[in-house]
Homo-oligomer: A and B are copies of this chain.
Amino acid sequence: MRTHFCGLIDESLIGQTVTLCGWADVARDLGGLCFIDLRDHEGIVQVVAEPSDAEGNAAVVATAAKVGYEDCLRVTGSVRRRESVNPKIPTGQVEVVATAIEVLNKAEPLPFHHHENPGEDIRLKYRYLDLRSPEMQRRMRTRTKLVAALRRWLDARGFQDIETPILTKATPEGARDFLVPARMHSGEFYALPQSPQLFKQILMVAGFDRYYQIARCFRDEALRADRQLEFTQLDMEFAWVDEKTVQDTVEGMVRDVFREVAGVELDAFPRMTWAEAMRRYGSDKPDLRIALELVDVDALVKDSQFKVFTDAAGVDGMRVCALRIPGGAALSRKQIDEYAAHAAKYGAKGLAYAKLGEDGAVNSPVAKFFDEAAFAALLAHVGADKGDIVFFGAGAFNTVSDFMGAVRLKAGRDFKLVEDSWKPLWVTDFPMFEWDDEAQRFVALHHPFTAPAVDDVDELRANARTATSRGYDMVLNGNEIGGGSIRIHRPAMQSAVFELLGIGAEEQQAKFGFLLDALKYGAPPHGGIAFGIDRIAALMAGTESIRDVIAFPKTTTAQCLMTGAPSPIEDAQLAEVHVAVRAKDGA
């Protein structure tokens, strides 16, 4: 239907006749002289319909005069040099003088044009109009390039792309499952996979060597800005490996793919233990673009009169730390309250601070609990200087780390301290378990299939609270973009971990019997990782929201505004799959 793409018409075609297909991005009729910006996926070129002696010219001009926004056109014409060059577009040197214009499909008046910036709801309802914008086209193309580059890299290295089921068995560990009633098995349900974790481990037991899959995963969780009901991960698993092989391999992959797709050269990734990341950055996914660090001050506050500090200083499982923000003394009382409110969201009961005025005067509600010299020593220890503010956090190690980490990120943004760069790292040596005070049991920090650092079952049982795992996360600019581990490959260790997590023998058999069986029959040592494709695509495309790199995303209320999913279903259809909608009271 066409000879060229609109966006690729250039000076080399001057004098030639071309046929183009596209949308009327803009159409202007200057009294018998018509200009149409014709757009396809490659870009825009100017089409002119002007009076001439050529046969049929009147009809061409008449058709052009009636063209409206987003009409679908086929245009034939000759390329010529433009009188008034448009430097803003790559085709700006030339224009196409139309000799024929065919309206392939007329557009009705639009709910919005992609030139506008309407609200996200209307963009999602008319997603097909939204996606026409060059910005969205560029973002989606970045995603396509990312996935293609990853596949090419993996295919070239013998990784085998294997599909695992979407209709599978419910595993009540982890997040909430989506359920699918089974028509042929009344009262039974399939579940959509939260990840292909068990299947990829089984593939290693099944003799495949290196596996990958760009896999759709499903979690029925509350939606935040960066979450979707369904999401895509690059899922990988390696047989006969230790963590170094996995990490070195995928680090190379990420470096190569960032170079190819985003033109970004990443340095070798630093490695940091979970404990160090929490201590220095208050986060297990530190954003290293922000130079600010938490400083432990237990030794400098333990002799103060401030009970909040002294109750925590030097106590096992607790910490007292400080964060110095250069220039932070400029914060108003109200702004400091905002920081306290922000910290409170992450569990802070208060947020002590000290301001150092430009004159060196200290303004701090907690100074009175210290000898003057001791307080000066404290401030000196954290490197506080004139014009700075120092925030303090004290309490349980994880809570303090979390809220001080959140304060650090907010300060980084507020004070424009986020370096314009790419800062990846590996975080390793995660705790194997976290103690859940409420449930009075251990929960797995990664997942229950992660190998502990120790090989011995009795040693793990004896030191469960302090045991570390063979898990690792890849972090980029404060985002956990990949997470993985060496897995348990011996059935006795897997059973022991299940037990520590409060899953008894019977429940183990019912839920994970097939995994325990598989481990019995010669499972090789294996490990792997999964990368969040949506997030990596968003980072590469330079957008905050993963919705911008998903063609048809759901809203935070779990709806597709375009199709209207989810929707009510007739009872007869529900009867076929043996379920009924419950009455509102839950009966």
Contacts and interface: CB of A to CB of B under 8 A. Distances in A.
Contacts of A586: 575
A413 interface: no
A489 to B, nearest CB: 6
A206 interface: yes
Interface string A531-552: 0000000000000000000111
A133 to B, nearest CB: 8
Given A126-B517, A179-B574, A187 B522 contact: no
A105 to B, nearest CB: 6
Contact of A165 (B128, B230, B521, B569): B230
Given A2-B240, A163-B232, A170-B569, A184 B521 contact: no
Interface string A157-197: 00011111111111010001111111111111111100000
A256 interface: no
Interface string A211-250: 0000010101000000001101000000111100100000
A23 B522 CA distance: 7
A163 to B, nearest CB: 6
A560 B165 contact: yes
A144 B154 CA distance: 12
A580 B582 contact: yes
A45 to B, nearest CB: 15
A130 B190 CA distance: 24
A125 to B, nearest CB: 8
Contacts of A130: 206
A187 B242 contact: no
A559 B220 CA distance: 23
Contact of A552 (B165, B190, B524): B165
A308 interface: no
B521 A107 contact: yes
Contacts of A242: 1
Contacts of A579: 181, 574, 579-582
B141 A573 contact: no
Contacts of A187: 568, 581
